[in-house]
Chains A and B, each alone.
Chain A
Amino acid sequence: MKTSIAALFAVALAVTGCHDTMNSVENAQKTGQRNMVSDQRVVSDTGLNRKVGVIGVNTAMTPGGFLRVQVELLNRTSSLQNYNYHFEWFDQNGMQVGGSSTAVISDSIDPKEDKYISAIAPTEAAKDFRLKLILGQ
Chain B
Amino acid sequence: MKNKIIIPLMAASAVFVTGCGTNAHYVQTGGTQNVVSIGQINIQDYIQAASAMTGDLLASGALDRVKTPPAVLAISRIVNNTGQQIDTDLLVKKIRVALLQSGKAVTTTTFGLGGQAEDPLASGLQQKNDFMNDKNTTGRVDFSLSGKIIQLNARAGNTSQATYSFQLSLTDNQGLAVWEGEKEITKQGTQSAVGF
Listed in ascending order, the chain A residues whose CB lies under 8 Å from chain B are 62-64, 66, 68, 82, 84, 98, 100-106, 119-120, 122-124, 134, 136-137
Contacts of A104 in B (CB 8 A): 30-32, 44, 47-48, 196
Q: Which residue of A lies closest to B59 (CB)?
A: A62
**A63: contacting residue among B50, B64, B195, CB under 8 A:** B64
B83-107, CB < 8 A from A: 94, 97-98, 101-104
B55 within 8 A of A: yes
B178 within 8 A of A: no
Can you list, as one digit per residue, whether each of B41-72 has a CB less than 8 Å from chain A (1) or not (0)? 00010011011101110111101100000000
Given contacts A103-B30, A104-B32, contact A119 B196 (CB under 8 A): no
**B196: contacting residue among A64, A102, A137, CB under 8 A:** A137
Listed in ascending order, the chain B residues whose CB lies under 8 Å from chain A are 30-32, 44, 47-48, 50-52, 54-56, 58-61, 63-64, 94, 97-98, 101-104, 193, 195-196
Given contacts A84-B32, A104-B30, contact A119 B58 (CB under 8 A): no
A101–B50 CB distance below 8 A: yes
B51–A64 CB distance below 8 A: no
Contacts of A134 in B (CB 8 A): 32
CA distance A120 to B32 in the complex (A): 21
B44–A103 CB distance below 8 A: yes
CA distance A29 to B37 in the complex (A): 45
A17 smallest CB distance to B (angstroms): 24
